[in-house]
Structure 1
Amino acid sequence: MRIALASLVAVFVLTGFSAAAPRPFEVTKLPEPRWSRTGPVPRGDANVKLVLVSSVGNAITDVGNWFRRHGLRLREHRLPGGLEPDFPLYALPAGTPVSFRGARLVRSVRQSGTQLGFYGRNFAEARYVLARRGGRALYGFDFANYAHLPKALSGPGGSVYQSATWAVEARGALYVSHSHAGFARDSSGLNGFVTAIDLRTRKVLWRSRSLVANAYTFEVVGNVIVTGYGFAEEPDYLYLLDRRTGGVLQRLRVPTAPEYLIRRGRTLFVRTYDRDLVVRLSESA
């Protein structure tokens, strides 16, 4: 009986993810989300507001200059054999597995003491998010059920892949954004959302409404999450989400689609398609 129970519990337990891992770790396959264009009801008590300070045109291709001019650094590791961007990245920690269950390492996010690796068939199809600390595997999540909409909800071009794009671990939870390259109509307006996962129970706490997060990055600041969404011929916004519920607390219209959001203190540096923004996180009355 004990052996049978252990087998059930260990359906997604791996043995050999890394030679550095002294014992197996669990990869949780999350259930299919409830696909909906609406999300949690906002709490409205975050006491923070997004205030646009400045907006300056850029040359579109001068992303590296933007990072250097503001002294910014993306919290991401350089991948072996990957394209070398025109801005600084961190060295990939030694011993990082470059593949997992036939999927390749497509992104590695640097956190304080934790590394979050994204694995998928290619850079547009990240399925797994796996966490490591000090060379040891901690936990993992399989987002296979997030990848494709049910056939009845697919857009006019058929099903497109919803890829895990960015993640932040904070206060006992993992926050993960999912989106795809293309128009909102390609997925019936059901892409670009954030999911919060309790790291103790491995269960979903909430999933935000769609069309709030397709920027490359987002920021968790206290009890709020700052995200960005936009695309050609679509409205472009920064969003303030309640970290506890995922509800939208505020949206700030921006000139073009947000790409990178990087925080320094109470200031957000936002790179959009053709504008460089400075946004202040202001305490509301």
Structure 2
Amino acid sequence: MPVDPRHCYPQPPFEGQTQPFPGLSAKMTPEPDYGEKTYRGSGKLTGQVALITGGDSGIGRAVALAFAREGADVAVSYLDSESQDAKEIAGQIEAEGRRCLLLPGDIREAAQCQALVNKTLDAFGRLDVLVNNAAFQSWAEHLEDITDEDWQRHFDTNTHAMFYLTKAALPHLKPGASIINTSSVNLKTPPKILVPYSMTKAAIANFTVSMAQQLASRGIRVNGVMPGPIWTPFIVTGMPEEAQKSIGSDVPLGRPGQPAELAGAYVYFADPLNSYTTGALLAVNGGMPML
């Protein structure tokens, strides 16, 4: 049955809340919807193996669950402090009859990125879909308030790790494989308090389009998703409490999106039926103008 997209999920105002990065889903009010009760698979990714960074919570978790319900085995990369969320998604994936490989560690190190690929290959024997999704976000009112450490962490996590992982995966990706990168609408509408985060998301979009052209000759597709404001732990770890209360109120649909509402975009890009789609950047943003 059709649903009214304005009212099918919680709307602002929300309760201001704070967690240290990277945050846990269970401590959010309300908890994000990852599609446990709504996403229904139809075998689109049967036999495939996916590696998803940041697959324990937020958008990555919804994607991991959707991929499993579409028939894929999933390797989930996450920070050690997110083990609670990681164990939950592993249980959900295995409940779907698929295999899940949990891969804790910090992807800011090139060696860790290589290890993620190697361990995925050791466990599953192949790699078909790489989802570069994990990210870091913090806010600052003024440029002088951004510490050198935070600046570096944004680029190490959001862009350098994408480079390391893509480079490590490429020798093992066969024609028909897919790389999906999480960018953001911030590349065109950067908030003043998220300068380094928005810069990295613009870089991710540029990398996506460049790689799509470079890898087309190998039969490997590269696409990106540009989320708008999405109700994930990022909201409570990387935004001021006052801004959290009205998150999503300024988009045409009048609310933030839920991770479950992003999953279909990633499935679309991974689905072999969409073999002519590469170099695309898909905005899932509640109607925010992107011209």
Q: TM-score range by the shorter chain?
A: 0.3 to 0.5
Per residue, is there more helix in 1 or in 2? 2
Q: TM-score, normalised by structure 2?
A: 0.32
**What is the TM-score of this pair, normalised by structure 1?**
0.33
Greater strand percent: which structure? 1
* Larger RCO of the pair (alpha carbons < 8 Å, separation 6+): 2
